[in-house]
Amino acid sequence: MGFRSGVRLGAFQQELLEQERENLLNYIRNASLGVSKQEYIDMCVSLGSEPLAEEMPVDYDDLKLETTYALQVYNLLRGRAQTYGRDFSNVESIFKVLNIPPNSRGVVLELLVLIDNDMIDSEIKKTNNGIEQSKNNNSKNTPG
């Protein structure tokens, strides 16, 4: 599962990008739970267990520069009207305002798409869960 952009990456660069993709998703998901790396370590110590690298939350400081650019840009993008996700029409202007180097913009854009897709998936799940919960509540309240 690799990124499919017009940018050709060497195998090593592709591996680094895939690892950063995983770090980014880990960061997004853990940020919504509110568990930092230090909190995880403290919890393990209090439980008398060894912290596991694969369970370790990713903190903002662990992310590569391009990933932090992507998060900054994403937060500045407008939401789309009547749909999920963000409007990318002004992304080039944001790149310029934030002085993101031109040679980083391809990777930043790939990471932006990843963030957007993850956020869209999350919103769709929330909506579907709300609809399902509403159906369940209605069926319980319906005399039968």
Q: What pLDDT does residue 17 have?
A: 83
> Which uninterrupted H or E stretch holds 139?
helix 105-141
For residues 54, 58, 64 and 69, what is the CA-based torsion angle, rounded to 10 degrees? Answer: 140
Name residues whose C-beta falls within 8 Å of residue 69's C-beta, 6 or more positions apart in sequence: 98, 100, 104, 108
Among 128, 111, 120, CA closest to 86? 120
C-beta of residue 43 within 8 angstroms of C-beta of residue 86 = no
Tens of pLDDT, residues 90-133: 999 999 999 999 999 999 999 999 999 988 888 888 888 877 77
- pLDDT tops 50 at residue 2: no
Tens of pLDDT, residues 126-142: 888 877 777 777 767 66
- Domain coordinates of the chain in residue numbers? 10-58, 64-138
